[in-house]
Amino acid sequence: MKTNAVKLEWQSLAERALQGECLSLEEGLSVLEADNDEVLLLMQAAFKVRKHFYGKKVKLNMIINAKSGLCPEDCGYCSQSIVSTAPVQKYTLLDKDTLLAGAREALARKAGTYCIVAAGKGPTDKELNQVVDAVREIRQTMPLKICACLGILNDDQAKRLAEAGVHRYNHNLNTSKANYPAITTTHTYDQRVETVEKVKTHGMSPCSGVIIGMGETNQEIIEMAYALRELDSDSIPINFLNAIPGTPLEHAGRTASMKALKVLALFRFICPSKEIRVAGGREVNLRTLQPLSLFAANSLFVGDYLTTAGQEISADYQMIEDLGFEIELNAL
């Protein structure tokens, strides 16, 4: 009887999500604090929502670290920040030919979206010109969607990226507004929100997500999901902290695999129609439970991240095939 009652509870959340209703804080906590014995039932309910909007298709994205290790920001999770002593490569923005080669590699990996990421508070005029030049040629020669992640933008920069053909712009909220000062002090949570709103006004699809495992409470995880629902972020990368030696958060523990699944289910219920991407840190936090993540998420990165390694691309292909899912080619 207890199992049936639990099953009905999670299915009820799925039905309400499909009707556009938002979970209450108490319901969100019931998801994150559910007994591990209920996780399969919870994922089944999340899959009902995911399947309604995305079927069994999986979107693939590929990142190129277009500028590395020269960031003046003090983000505690990042190996490229000014406060990090992690031994990462340091280089200025990659030239056009290298960015084009990355785009060709994204196509070879069956990625629909190519993500050009440059660490920093925001792009200089020279950097923006380089990205714009590369984006224009990619758009003319390859059937790829392009996402840019270059930091805080002003109106003119956002307009130029949109005019060049950038489909999507990423600027993660990363954590809750209350927790933000404990993670970063060189810019504010509100500045991140403003950038996401700005790219929307210039016609780019907003991409904004979070990093789980940076000292936030369960209530704050729910508040992050509410904030992204309010922002109407089309794509929501859910990162799980991969604590890198040499960063202020190097001693943070990993998120338990079952907790990570509950987080993904929560975001699917609160942002039901949005692309939910299981992103950085999935390999070290979900570990052998990675396949289950795709019952809530419908997107993932293939290959390496910015300064950390992903799993073998063939393993991702095999995971998708074994689930009976299929890669959605050229998908935004």
Rounded-to-integer distance, Cα 234 and Cα 205, Å: 6
Q: Are 83 and 183 in contact (CB under 8 A)?
A: no
Q: Which residues pair with 47 in a beta bridge?
A: none
Query: What is the pLDDT averaged over residues 111-116?
Result: 96
Q: Provide the pLDDT for residue 6.
A: 54
HEC assignment per residue over the chain: CHHHHHHHHHHHHHHHHHCCCCCCHHHHHHHHCCCHHHHHHHHHHHHHHHHHHHCCEEEEEEEEEEEECCCCCCCCCCCCCCCCCCCCCCECCCCHHHHHHHHHHHHHCCCCEEEEEECCCCCCHHHHHHHHHHHHHHHHHCCCEEEEECCCCCHHHHHHHHHHCCCEEECCCECCCCCHHHHCCCCCHHHHHHHHHHHHHCCCEEECCEEECCCCCHHHHHHHHHHHHHHCCCEEEEEECCCCCCCCCCCCCCCCHHHHHHHHHHHHHHCCCCEEEECCCHHHHCHHHHHHHCCCCCEEECCCCCCCCCCCHHHHHHHHHHCCCEEECCCC
Q: How far is CA 78 from the centre of its chain?
A: 15
| Confidence band for 2, pLDDT divided at 50, 70 and 90 | very low
Query: What is the pLDDT averaged over residues 59-88?
Result: 92
The closest alpha carbon to 240, from 249, 232, 248, belongs to 249
Q: Provide the pLDDT for residue 135.
A: 98
The model carries a pTM of 0.95
Q: Provide the pLDDT for residue 205.
A: 97
Q: Which residues pair with 164 in a beta bridge?
A: none
- Per cent of the chain over pLDDT 70 is 97
Q: Provide the pLDDT for residue 166.
A: 97
Measured CA angle at 67 (ends 85, 284), to 5 deg: 60
Rounded-to-integer distance, Cα 169 and Cα 159, Å: 12
CB crowding 139-173: b at 16 or more within 10 Å, else e = beebebbbbbbbbbbeeebbbbbbebbbbbbbbbb
Active site residues: 71, 75, 78, 115, 147, 207, 277
Q: Summarize pLDDT for 196-216 with one digit per residue, the tens.
A: 999 999 999 999 999 999 999
Q: Which residues pair with 240 in a beta bridge?
A: 212
Q: Provide the pLDDT for residue 44.
A: 97
pLDDT at 179 over 60: yes
Annotated binding site for [2Fe-2S] cluster: 115, 147, 207, 277
- Per cent of the chain over pLDDT 90 is 89
Annotated binding site for [4Fe-4S] cluster: 71, 75, 78
Q: Provide the pLDDT for residue 195.
A: 96
Sign of the alpha-carbon dihedral angle for 215, 123, 147, 107:
negative
- Rounded to the nearest integer, the mean pLDDT of the chain is 94
